A and B are shown apart, each in its own frame.
Chain A
Amino acid sequence: MLKESGEMKDRIKGGSYMLESKNVNVFYGDKKVLQDVTLQVPENTVTALIGPSGCGKSTYLRLFNRMNDYIENFRKEGDILIDGKDIYRKDAEIEELRKTVGMVFQKPNPFPKSIYENVAYGLRIQGINNKDVLDEAVEKSIKKAALWDEVKDDLKKNALALSGGQQQRLCIARTLAVEPSIILMDEPASALDPISTAKIESLIYELKQNYTIVVVTHNMHQAGRISDKTGFFYLGELVEFGDTKQIFTNPKNKKTENYISGRFG
């Protein structure tokens, strides 16, 4: 995948967005939870998905790394494209997809292993066990996740002994180690205190240089601070999508305006 921003503009002109969904419907059994969602995400941007809880944000996010596949009666209509390719096509390799599309979850979920092994895991499962390679990747990833100074002397320590905020940054480091081009984050700071939240936010801002990030949040101020684009979901529909500034200062849709101004949600 292409990372330089110069090429990015060409790609978009050529019609190939980093992430794209076309007329997507999602059902859990008979229940329709997403309705005709069409959205395009350009490379190296942060896109925030906002909306009241239960409106389908997580479901939508998890379409892009096929995490919904594990839900028994999940069904999707429409196309999900990454870099112009349908990721639900018959011969798509899910494991390969997930090396390109990383995910950070709502609740920090480190493995009950050492800090080092948490970060090395994604490489080990690819068969990379060379100590020098792993050492380097672990250090690089933890540094990128702004956690290095806090853990560098104690990489053997169990990850569960870290604070919640540190655990979440470790989870980000673990995701970065696989070198994805896209990172999906599902309310990554909602379980954290304000200081940890601020750290995660500035980290997202940093990572934008090299990654395409989609972040679900129900904290509107957070969306305003960190994102370039914002999409507002309501009852399974993408009500409005546009530049964050426009959405927050001049929403076109009445429902968006009501939500932004805190009248419901």
Chain B
Amino acid sequence: MNNARVNRIKDVLFKYFGIVCTLSGLIILAIFILNILIDGVQRIDWSFMSSLPSRFPERAGILTAWTGTFWIFCLTAAIAIPIGVGAGVYLEEYSKKGWLANLLEINIANLAGVPSIIYGILGLEVFVRILGFGASLLAGSLTLALLILPIIIVATREAIRAVPKTIKEASFALGATKWQTISRQVLPASASSIITGIILALSRAVGETAPLIVVGALAYVPFVAKTPMDEFTVLPMQIFNWVSRPQHGFTINAAAAIIVLLCFVFLMIGIAVYIRNRAQKKNPW
């Protein structure tokens, strides 16, 4: 056999290897989701969404869990978005480049890789104990905001960096100040990438369990949170609690709650993808 033919065979072999790898990942995911759907979908109805938790699986619902998740989502967004985007803009546009900037950059990248439970411990010490917020929605949201800040900062910086220098030059050359250039050119041009990053970060926050357990989110909350200082639970906590119970009824409840959580996360990712696709048509870079 000549060399070209060997290479061609290698090429084909690798192609099939790639297909098998991709498919096995997809198939496993599909089986998992199908399994959950079969178990849980008939359990989702209005009373499941609007009932408080209960000792009896047929009567238990996820009202406190999904309202808690919704609270956490909104509060975390309100805290993390302004700080994350602000820090990203500062680091990219204002800070002097030098060893300090490098140190910050490396550390922020590293923070994104710190296990989430470490953030939980930090949150417990700082927000729950020192600042005295207790095991409240506020403490939980602050903790999750810290967790996703590095992601938002990095996404913001990358989005800003992708705006061509020529656009900024054009703005300056017309007499714009730095802030006018940032607010009227740089941010609008990078908004869609920043928003995409924010949504993906938030969908991660919504799925987190470990840091909230450490901060003290409860497994059983018999009321809907009314203020940020209330105690709370969230969907992943509720799911975690149900799957660890022996009764089959709770396993079904857990599957149903997983479907609700997945729908929420997929919806957010869908929005992110939609925004990105729409923006790609508008901006050529």
Q: Which residues of A contact B (CB under 8 A)?
A: 65, 67, 70, 72, 95-96, 98-99, 102-103, 105, 107, 109-112, 121-122, 124-126, 158, 160, 171, 174-175, 178
Contacts and interface: CB of A to CB of B under 8 A. Distances in A.
Contact of B175 (A95, A105, A158): A95
A160 B282 CA distance: 9
Contacts of A158: 282
Interface string B165-200: 011011111111100100011000100000000000
Given A112-B189, A125-B180, A125-B184, A174 B283 contact: no
A124 B177 CA distance: 12
B176 A125 contact: yes
Nearest to A117: B184
B284 A174 contact: no
B5 interface: no
B102 to A, nearest CB: 14
B164 interface: yes
Contact of B185 (A96, A99, A111, A122): A111
Contacts of B175: 95-96, 98-99, 122, 125-126, 178
Contacts of B97: 72
Nearest to A103: B173
B77 to A, nearest CB: 27
Interface in B135-179: 164, 166-167, 169-177
A112 B166 contact: no
Given A72-B97, A125-B180, A160-B284, A98 B166 contact: no
Given A72-B97, A112-B283, A160-B284, A105 B166 contact: yes
A124 B167 CA distance: 16
Contacts of B173: 65, 67, 98, 102-103, 105, 175
A178 B171 CA distance: 12
Given A103-B173, A110-B170, A122-B174, 11 more contacts: A67-B172, A95-B175, A105-B166, A105-B170, A109-B164, A111-B170, A124-B184, A125-B176, A125-B177, A178-B174, A178-B175
A125 B282 CA distance: 23
Nearest to A124: B184
A98 B171 contact: no
A174 B174 contact: yes
B226 to A, nearest CB: 43
Given A95-B176, A107-B166, A121 B171 contact: yes
Contacts of B185: 111
Which 4 pairs between the two chains have the least Cβ-Cβ distance?
A109-B166, A122-B174, A103-B173, A98-B175
B282 A112 contact: yes
A109 B174 contact: no
Given A109-B164, A111-B185, A160-B284, A125 B169 contact: no
B256 to A, nearest CB: 45
Nearest to B184: A125
A98 B180 contact: no
Contacts of A171: 170
For B97, B172, B177, B185, the residue with the greatest tally of chain A CB atoms inside 10 Å of its CB is B172
Contacts of B177: 95, 125
B9 to A, nearest CB: 46
Contacts of A107: 166
26 contacts: A65-B173, A67-B172, A72-B97, A98-B172, A98-B174, A98-B175, A105-B170, A107-B166, A109-B166, A109-B169, A111-B170, A112-B189, A112-B283, A121-B176, A121-B184, A122-B174, A122-B175, A124-B184, A125-B174, A125-B175, A125-B180, A158-B282, A171-B170, A174-B174, A175-B173, A178-B174
